[in-house]
A and B are shown apart, each in its own frame.
Chain A
Amino acid sequence: MTAFLALVRRDVMLSFRIGGGAVLGLVFFLTVGALMPLGIGPEPQLLSKIAPGLIWVLAVLTALLTLDRLFQADFEDGSLDQLALGQLPLWLVVLGKVLAHWLTTGLPLCLFAPLMGVLFGLAPEGYWPLVLGLLLGTPALSLTGAMGAALTVALRRGGLLLSLIVLPLYIPVLIFGAGSAIMAVDGLGADGALMMVSALSLFSLVVSLPLSALSLKTHLS
């Protein structure tokens, strides 16, 4: 347990250093969000209608952008070998790194999503399901993405391939995540969609950890 927490702590600290993904991811999220009304046009009705979808797509892109270095830095300098040989089983190492990734990108996104909602003029009923959906759904993004990152860890330009692999697997989370806010705005109730998002997160927890560990092992041997 201490080893696990130490790993999470280390990764969180590293991502706040220069070149770390935490702040950059958030800045990306907000900047691209600000670009959208400039490209689409400033009509408030249109913007408020597409707000949940836009925010969710941005969350997906931000996750992708920060994921390709999830294992790569440690793989290149050999610390991943050390971690694999250490007392923690490899799937726990994956879980630790995923947790750190979520704490530094997923969680800030959830906290800043309401701000984005304000910029897009999201209807008041949409805020709570939006934030809740992101809280429940971004773990699935980090977990599924970890699998893609593990598969492409040894490739020098793995980021592009990572997106190609991971984006199709993100689609269900995107559909139900954005769907929860959309349905709340339409007065249909977000509970069903939110439950689906939680189910997807749990499912990706079960599937992603062993598969990520397996593919890391392939590249380490």
Chain B
Amino acid sequence: MIQRFANPKRFDAIARRVAPVMAVAAAACLAWGVWLALFDSPPDFRQGDTVRIMYVHVPAAWMASAVYVLIAVASAVSLIFRHPLADVAARAAAPFGLAFTFLALVTGSLWGKPMWGTWWVWDARLTSVLVLFFLYAGYIAVWQAMEDTQKAARAAAILALAGSVNIPIIRFSVDWWNSLHQPASVFRAEGPTIDSSMLWPLGVMALAYTFLFAALWLYAIRTEIAARRARTLAMMVASRDEAADGTGEARHA
């Protein structure tokens, strides 16, 4: 499996065909999901219309952790198998993870103000998601700080693995600590605790976010592969020009 898709050329060929499909699916799901979320779903009996914030908040929060898991897995693959495509994939995913985490924090804050009476509380769930935001920022900063792509890749991968401790903390923080944040209501052993009239818009929006990320990620990976090729070419051209300059000087002398 890894071997099959690990060839950058073949990956490029597959991604070229899959990405537009994902983009179309994302657009369709987004249109349907927003329709369901804003028009075709009831207000909650306790939270009123603020429950509609859930349909943009929860998918963003899911994607925030899911993208980090992807980065951590890709980092492990990159460290163990030394495959360049894995660290390209990890690097390309990071900005999206940062953006989703930002969205989760901001929409959560907008939901918290009317429901809890405060924009922010320092409870375990909110704090661990804030930590996730910082982890993304550090991860991106490591990539940008190091000139040598290979060294940057390994440093970033090590950081991503170390930071992955945070993911189970985010997942279980609402169960382990009493907090204002409501406990998990969709993915639980006994089945979801929310009504199907709300589960539908939530599921469709989650799909929309997933497809959107998948499409953008594939584009970004292809871009990153092209950028690496450009860097290699630039170095080749530079060294060739240098060699040409050298002979030129020799001739003058």
Contacts and interface: CB of A to CB of B under 8 A. Distances in A.
Q: Is A in direct contact with B (CB under 8 Å) within the complex?
A: yes
Interface in B121-143: 127, 131, 134-135, 137-138, 141-142
Interface stretch (A118-126, A132-140, A210-218): A210-218
A19 interface: no
A164 B154 contact: no
Interface in A131-156: 144, 147, 151-152, 154-155
Interface in A142-201: 144, 147, 151-152, 154-155, 158, 161, 164-165, 167-169, 171-172, 175
A219 B137 CA distance: 22
Nearest to A165: B138
B158 A214 contact: yes
Nearest to B169: A172
B134 A164 contact: yes
A215 B142 contact: no
A163 to B, nearest CB: 9
A154 B142 contact: no
A151 B138 CA distance: 12
B155 A218 contact: yes
A167 B159 contact: no
Given A155-B145, A219-B151, A171 B131 contact: yes
A215 B161 contact: no
A211 B158 contact: yes
Interface residues of A, number: 24
A207 interface: yes
Nearest to A175: B127
B146 interface: yes
Q: Tell me whether chain B's interface is mostly helix, strand or loop, or mixed.
A: helix
Contacts of B183: none
B21 interface: no
B146 A155 contact: yes
B142 A165 contact: yes
B135 A215 contact: no
A62 B62 CA distance: 36
Nearest to B151: A218
Interface residues of B, number: 22
Q: Tell me whether chain A's interface is mostly helix, strand or loop, or mixed.
A: helix
A203 B137 CA distance: 24
Given A214-B158, A215-B158, A218-B154, A169 B163 contact: yes
Contacts of A167: 134
A151 B134 contact: no
Contact of B137 (A154, A164, A169, A211): A164
Interface string B147-177: 0000100110011011101100100000000
Contacts of A147: 158, 162
Nearest to A218: B154
A158 B142 CA distance: 10
A169 B131 CA distance: 8
Which of A151, A211, A219 lies at the interface centre, i.e. has the most chain B CB atoms within 10 A of its CB? A151
A168 B141 CA distance: 14
Given A211-B158, A211-B162, A154 B151 contact: yes
Given A171-B131, A215-B154, A219-B151, A164 B159 contact: no
Nearest to B131: A168
B128 to A, nearest CB: 8
A6 B79 CA distance: 32
Contacts of B158: 147, 151, 211, 214-215
B155 A151 contact: yes
Contact of B162 (A154, A155, A158, A207): A207
A164 B146 contact: no
B142 A161 contact: yes
Interface of B: 79, 127, 131, 134-135, 137-138, 141-142, 145-146, 151, 154-155, 158-159, 161-163, 165-166, 169
15 contacts: A144-B162, A147-B162, A151-B159, A154-B151, A155-B146, A161-B142, A161-B145, A164-B138, A168-B131, A214-B79, A214-B158, A215-B154, A215-B155, A215-B158, A218-B154
Interface of A: 144, 147, 151-152, 154-155, 158, 161, 164-165, 167-169, 171-172, 175, 203, 207-208, 211, 214-215, 218-219
